[in-house]
């Protein structure tokens, strides 16, 4: 009986210890790894906003015909060429207009001759009326004829001016200087009024419609410099021209229009931009503390009771020692050494900060060697 009681007591103690071990393991308190901790700090660092978008023309000018129903007899410009303002682009058949011009010129000459005749007749009628040899009715008739002749001259001159304008419109000229990016007219084509014949990029200026997240849109301002890059044509410099005031409700992206300088970019190409927005206050952590879990960057934050949790962050910039992040509050403690072996809810032991060892001066050591 005594032997049985002794064995039962020993078995009870072992069972209690095993149950306690299982409870500790289940609660996560069994993991007490020693780690080093550093507080996240707020610093003013040069900030770069990364965006991407489509290259477009600063201003596209469509060129069309004002006079319709005429045949294109000559096309002087092709796509890709640069033109100056007023340079001829297309010549339309103006033979009929030139004939109408000569007819209108003759009509003006006839009207002017009739006006001169009626003007002289009015003068003679007034002189005869003063002498009493002409009635008032005859004088009124002469005055009416003179006024009608003057009106005919004005009408003929207006018709002549209209014909001259239509004749000038038969030569289609570039309204602005720039690069022709589209041509939709061929020789022999009957051109209708208002038909687009060319499309010109004004002054050849291009810009990138960079799509910027709404969280960073407030940092981008007009006048900031940017570096534009493309895998096909390389890099070019740029400057922010304007930031639109509207954010797309579906994508939560705003648009920053960046004027391009140099490069071989063309409208419609895809490009990336790195916009220098100046020094901005940003939270920084040691680069060694940033981990990637499920393709998301984050850090382990030490909370109450020395338990840790994984806090996702967005990496803004990175150096060998420091990483600027968003989504983290300055002052929180993040795990540096040992973070790669932790999981959410683990309890850790924070190692005390190690003071740097004092550096001994080399002068005393040299004097001792000399003494020897």
pLDDT at 279: 79
Q: Cβ–Cβ contacts within 10 Å for residue 76, how many? A: 13
Neighbouring residues of 320: CB distance < 8 A, sequence distance ≥ 6: 287
Q: Helix (H, G, I), strand (E, B), or coil: what is residue 346?
A: coil
Which residue ranges of the chain lie beneath pLDDT 70? 1-31, 353-372
d(CA 290, CA 299): 5
pLDDT at 246: 87
pLDDT at 13: 52
Report the half-sphere exposure of 113 (CA within 13 A, side-chain side): 6
**Residue corresponding to tokens 């002087």:** 76
Q: Cβ–Cβ contacts within 10 Å for residue 163, how many? A: 19
What is the CA angle 83-89-90, rounded to 5? 175
Neighbouring residues of 14: CB distance < 8 A, sequence distance ≥ 6: none
Q: How far apart are the first and last CA of the chain?
A: 81
d(CA 132, CA 127): 9
User: How many residues does the structure list for the chain?
Assistant: 372
pLDDT at 353: 53
**Residue corresponding to tokens 């060998």:** 320
pLDDT at 209: 93
pLDDT at 360: 47
d(CA 49, CA 123): 85
Q: Cβ–Cβ contacts within 10 Å for residue 101, how many? A: 18
Tokens of 226: 């940017």
What is the secondary structure of 188-203 as a DSSP string? T-EEPTT-EEEEEEET
| Phi and psi based region of residue 77 (left: phi greater than 0; alpha: psi -120 to 50; beta: remaining) | beta
d(CA 138, CA 239): 79
Task: Set out the domains of the chain in order of their start, with CATH numbers.
Answer: 49-59+204-279 (2.40.30.170), 67-93+170-203 (2.40.50.100), 94-168 (1.10.287)
């Amino acid at each position: 009986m005594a032997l049985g009681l002794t064995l039962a007591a020993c078995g009870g103690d072992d069972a209690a210890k095993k149950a306690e071990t299982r409870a500790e393991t289940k609660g996560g308190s069994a993991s007490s790894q020693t780690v080093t901790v550093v507080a996240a700090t707020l610093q003013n660092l040069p900030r770069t906003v990364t965006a991407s978008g489509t290259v477009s023309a600063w201003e596209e000018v469509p060129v069309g015909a004002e006079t319709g129903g005429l045949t294109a007899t000559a096309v002087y410009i092709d796509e890709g060429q640069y033109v100056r303002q007023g340079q001829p682009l297309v010549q339309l058949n103006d033979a009929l207009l030139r004939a109408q011009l000569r007819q209108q010129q003759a009509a003006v000459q006839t009207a002017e001759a009739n006006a001169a005749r009626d003007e002289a007749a009015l003068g003679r009628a007034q002189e005869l009326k003063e002498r009493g040899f002409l009635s008032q009715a005859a004088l009124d008739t002469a005055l009416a004829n003179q006024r009608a002749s003057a009106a005919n001259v004005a009408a003929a001159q207006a018709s002549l001016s209209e014909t001259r304008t239509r004749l000038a419109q038969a030569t289609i000229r570039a309204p602005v200087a720039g690069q022709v990016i589209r041509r939709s007219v061929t020789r022999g084509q009957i051109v209708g009024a208002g038909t687009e014949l060319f499309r010109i990029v004004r002054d050849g200026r291009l810009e990138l419609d960079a799509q910027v997240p709404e969280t960073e849109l407030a940092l981008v301002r007009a006048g900031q410099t940017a570096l534009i890059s493309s895998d096909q044509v390389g890099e070019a410099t740029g400057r922010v021209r304007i930031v639109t005031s509207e954010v797309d409700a579906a994508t939560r992206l705003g648009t920053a229009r960046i004027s391009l300088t140099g490069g071989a970019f063309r409208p419609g190409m895809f490009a990336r931009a790195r916009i220098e927005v100046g020094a901005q206050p940003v939270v920084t952590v040691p680069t060694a503390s940033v981990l990637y879990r499920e393709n998301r960057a984050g850090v382990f934050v030490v909370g109450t009771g020395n338990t840790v949790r994984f806090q996702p962050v967005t990496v803004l910039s990175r150096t060998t020692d420091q990483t600027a992040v968003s989504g983290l509050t300055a002052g929180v403690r993040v795990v540096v050494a040992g973070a790669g072996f932790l999981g959410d809810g683990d309890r850790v032991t924070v190692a005390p900060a190690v003071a740097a060892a004092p550096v001994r001066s080399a002068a005393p050591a040299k004097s001792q060697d000399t003494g020897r």
